A and B are shown apart, each in its own frame.
Chain A
Amino acid sequence: MRCAFLGFLVIFAAAAQPPAPPAPGGFLQNTAPKGPTPRTPEGKPDLSGVWSPGLDFARLGQVPLQPWAEALYKERRANLSKDDPEGHCLPAGVPRIAPFPFKLVQTPSLIVYLDEGNVHSYRQFFLDGRGHPKDLDPTWMGDSIAKWEGDTLVVDTIGLNDKTWLNGQGLPHSDDLHVIERYRRPDLGHLEEEITLEDSKAFTAPHSFKRTMTLMPKWEIHEYVCNEFNVDAEHLVGR
């Protein structure tokens, strides 16, 4: 039997309330552990860990779009992003600008990128010297090869489909998208990522931006079974 409660009050106000400030000690503040860059036995920076982009996730900047892409972007904005594939439990793509943590697992020949969200996607950064396969069939997460340039891990990704949005606002791209990520771990608690996006079919010029991830030493990536509890999908009505 459900608990009853003394009081009852539901109030509808005429105007929205101001947003609540972040809680003290919240993720807007830098709570990263301090220490030197950890290294592998081979002497490479060890990028392993659970990383959160925090609110850095949205720092994409202005991507120069071709007219068709600009029109599509405006259409998605006008619809308040109701058709965002991520909101419908589809993978986020690369490099989806999303706030969920991810985990890096590093070996000398392979780094595995485990996304907490959206829908437990994974990426593989092949460090064994291989090139991209010829005649790639576009996929949600693409094909990634990597190499070390000094202490920087450079990840090159192609073979992405055009279904994903680059961010929640609906920034489009084509299947020509080429993503170059440069990862550095300048100290124990931070992972810096510089991302360059090239897309000759959707952008008028390459676009670069940076974000800094914070180590979450007390967090394990959390299960994400989108379809079991995606109560939102049928309520995404737009305007």
Chain B
Amino acid sequence: MRFTLPVAAIGLLLAAVPGWSHHSFAAEYDSNKPITVKGTVVRLAWVNPHAYVFVDVKEEHGKITTWAFESLSPNALAQQGWNRNSLKPGDEVIVDGYLAKDGKPLADGSMHANSRKITLADGRTVFVGSSADAAYQQGK
């Protein structure tokens, strides 16, 4: 099954100021490099200052690459009704997010990105939101 990437050309909203996070979004991630990755959840780190979702992605030649997606903080996710059981190892997901600016993997070798929405196989979305979002950036 393939899916279509929703494409829209609104980038300026993300350029403003860093806000919801313990660090600057713009210093670490590139809002002009949105990505969509399809894979299988291998681990969820329900930790401050950001929850992290690790997703294994099978590439064309069968090689498996692990992606590490930075999400919001656990309390910000909890205030929207999600918890550490909202994603489980083995869940098939599509993750929308943004690539890290430096393009370098994390120390554990995983690809590094920021997530803004995770869609489960049944169509439900979880962990919606990113420190890139205008609402978080401007506190409105």
Residues on A facing B (Cβ under 8 Å): 2-20, 22-23, 25-28, 31, 52, 54-59, 77, 79-82, 84, 86-87, 98-101, 116-118, 168-169, 216, 218-219, 222-226, 228-233, 235-238
Instruction: Given A3-B42, A12-B33, A23-B80, answer yes or no on A18-B13 (Cβ-Cβ < 8 Å).
Output: yes
A2 pairs with B64, CB closer than 8 A: yes
Within 8 A of A (CB), among B8-29: 8-11, 13-14, 17-24, 26-28
Within 8 A of A (CB), among B39-62: 39-40, 42, 45, 47-50, 52, 56-60, 62
Sample 5 A-B pairs with CB under 8 A, ordered by A number.
A3-B56, A5-B38, A26-B129, A231-B70, A237-B27
Instruction: Given A57-B139, A80-B27, A117-B48, answer yes or no on A16-B34 (Cβ-Cβ < 8 Å).
Output: yes
Number of A-B contacts (CB under 8 A): 235
Nearest A-chain residue to B45, judged by Cβ:
A229
Give the 3 A-B CB pairs with smallest separation, nearest first. A58-B139, A87-B23, A81-B24
Partner of A18, one of B8, B66, B104, B138: B8
Q: What CA separation (Å) do A57 and B50 show in the bound complex?
A: 17
Contacts of B62 in A (CB 8 A): 4
Instruction: Given A2-B56, A15-B7, answer yes or no on A20-B74 (Cβ-Cβ < 8 Å).
Output: no
Q: What CA separation (Å) do A115 and B61 show in the bound complex?
A: 48
Instruction: Given A13-B34, A20-B129, A223-B47, answer yes or no on A2-B135 (Cβ-Cβ < 8 Å).
Output: no
Instruction: Given A5-B58, A9-B2, A52-B79, answer yes or no on A19-B130 (Cβ-Cβ < 8 Å).
Output: yes
A18 pairs with B27, CB closer than 8 A: no
| A224 CB, min distance to chain B CBs, angstroms | 4
| B12 CB, min distance to chain A CBs, angstroms | 9
Within 8 A of A (CB), among B74-118: 74-76, 78-81, 89-90, 92, 96, 98-102, 104, 106-107, 112, 116-117
Partner of B23, one of A12, A13, A86, A216: A86
Q: What CA separation (Å) do A219 and B73 show in the bound complex?
A: 13
A10 pairs with B96, CB closer than 8 A: no
Residues on B facing A (Cβ under 8 Å): 1-3, 5-11, 13-14, 17-24, 26-28, 31-40, 42, 45, 47-50, 52, 56-60, 62, 64, 66, 68, 70, 73-76, 78-81, 89-90, 92, 96, 98-102, 104, 106-107, 112, 116-117, 128-130, 132-136, 138-140
A19 pairs with B47, CB closer than 8 A: no
| A6 CB, min distance to chain B CBs, angstroms | 8
B48 pairs with A17, CB closer than 8 A: no
B27 pairs with A79, CB closer than 8 A: yes
A55 pairs with B140, CB closer than 8 A: yes
Contacts of A168 in B (CB 8 A): 17-19, 21, 23-24
Greatest chain A CB density within 10 A among B8, B104, B128, B135 is at: B135
A235 pairs with B90, CB closer than 8 A: no
B36 pairs with A19, CB closer than 8 A: no
A17 pairs with B139, CB closer than 8 A: no
Greatest chain A CB density within 10 A among B22, B37, B57, B80 is at: B22
B36 pairs with A82, CB closer than 8 A: no
B68 pairs with A231, CB closer than 8 A: yes
Greatest chain B CB density within 10 A among A16, A169, A236 is at: A16
